Amino acid sequence: MSTSSSTDPAAHPRTFASDNYSGAHPEVLAAVAEANVGHAPAYGEDPWTAQLQELIRDLFAPDAVACPVFNGTGANVVGLQAALPRWGAVICAASAHINSDEGGAPEKTAGLKLLPVEAPEGKLTPELVDKHAWGWGDPHRAQPLAVSISQSTEFGTCYTPGEVRALADHAHESGMILHMDGSRLGNAAAHLGTGLAAITSDAGVDMLSLGGTKNGLLGAEAVVVLSPESAPGLEYLRKSTMQLGSKMRFVSAQLTALYGGDLWQRSAGQANAMAARLRAGLEQAPGVGLPVPTQSNVVFATLPAEAKARARQAFHFYDWPGDPALVRLMCSFDTTAEDVDALLAAITGQP
């Protein structure tokens, strides 16, 4: 039997490449199995999706609405497309996933112009937003109608509730909405020691892409509309954008399993703790640079060539695009202290 199809865990060792590499949490698999009973209405008319709607209102706001989708790109595209007209533009960090890692989907599929800004450590500020927040009423310019931030950012940094509120207020003053790509929202909340609402609905966010896949789900995300008036036609666009699941109960059951209790906190907390352990070890390693703060489940490091070669023999990880000296070391909900220590031993050359 080939290693790719083997069920032996030894054939599929953990890596530090991406939290997308990790499997599904056992509690999530159990929730999917529990939903696999008999027949249930399709396209979201099932009890599991109704339960998810109640949960979302409890977690975020009394009038919040959730639309489960299959992936994070789908959540971003469906949400932004529903919120903005075809002449709309979205201000975002140049490093944002919608700008650098979604194959141009927001522009190709949603027809929205992205206005990227170089943002230190991936974080926008009102002053950076103002670099593109102009030209309203000018038919020659795509109209800036949304600001999109990632929480946590592609560099693993986190916006505090105050920073989110400042961006929300600034956007709203100019007639723009604030969208949040929350594919790693749980990791940010775990780092900040807050609930989910404190860095979203309570801080003025209008629309949220609620992550799940990177925190132990099989493949489940949701568009969460926190200001209902900001997304007319969302249900129609979800279908036309090919993100409406027929057997939605299995997507909704996963999201409820993650966010209905403390699983999101336990999983994100474990990933964050392992990243902190990794950083602490790298701080003691000769020749290693750590140019970005570690605030979630990722460590960015520059490694001496020999150390990188040793580490790459033992574990899979990625060089950061555009900077071959920089590597991204990503921890997952199932990363263990033994995994981290083995990577540190490979980097330092110590047994």
Q: Under DSSP, is residue 246 helix (H, G, I), strand (E, B) or coil?
A: coil
Domain that holds residue 330: 9-16+263-348
In a domain, 199, yes or no: yes
SS3 for 127-159 is HHHCCCCCCCCCCCCCEEEEEEEECCCCCCCCC
Strands laid side by side in the 298-302 sheet: 298-302, 323-330, 318-320
DSSP string for residues in 289-326: B--S---SSEEEEE--HHHHHHHHHH---EEETTEEEE
- Shared domain for 67 and 162, answered yes or no, is yes
Q: Are residues 178 and 311 located together in one domain of the fold?
A: no
- Residue 301 located in a structural domain: yes
Q: What is the pTM of this model?
A: 0.96
Q: What is the pLDDT of residue 228?
A: 81
C-beta separation of 330 from 19 below 8 A: yes
Tell me if 4 is assigned to some domain: no
**Domain termination site, one of 259, 282, 299:** 259
Task: Give the β-pairing of 221-225 and 207-210.
Answer: antiparallel
pLDDT by position in tens, the chain (length 351): 455 677 777 778 899 999 999 999 999 999 999 999 999 999 999 999 999 999 999 999 999 999 999 999 999 999 999 999 999 999 999 999 999 999 999 999 999 999 999 999 999 999 999 999 999 999 999 999 999 999 999 999 999 999 999 999 999 999 999 999 999 999 999 999 999 999 999 999 999 999 999 999 999 999 999 988 888 889 999 999 999 999 999 999 999 999 999 999 999 999 999 999 999 999 999 999 999 999 999 999 999 999 999 999 999 999 999 888 899 999 999 999 999 999 999 999 887
**In a shared domain, residues 187 and 48:** yes
Are 41 and 102 in the same domain? yes
CB 69 within 8 A of CB 82: no
Residue 351: other Cβ atoms inside 10 A: 4
What's the CATH number where 311 sits? 3.90.1150.10
What's the number of domains the chain is made of?
2
Q: Which of 217, 235, 259 is the last residue of a domain?
A: 259
Give the three-state DSSP class for 219. coil
DSSP secondary-structure letter at 84?
Answer: S
Give the DSSP per-residue string, 6-63: ---GGGS---SS-TTSS---HHHHHHHHHH-SS---STT-SHHHHHHHHHHHHHT-TT
DSSP 97-121: HHHHSSTTHHHHTS--EEEEE--GG
One domain, residues 79 and 48: yes
Note whether 237 and 291 are same-domain residues. Answer: no
Do 333 and 200 reside in the same domain of the chain? no
User: Is 234 found in the same domain as 185?
Assistant: yes
How far out from the chain centre does Cα 99 lie? 14
Find the CATH number of the domain harbouring 115. Answer: 3.40.640.10
Same domain, 241 and 286: no
Mark whether 233 and 320 lie in a shared domain: no
Give a yes or no: residue 313 inside a domain: yes
At residue 223, the 3 state secondary structure works out as: strand
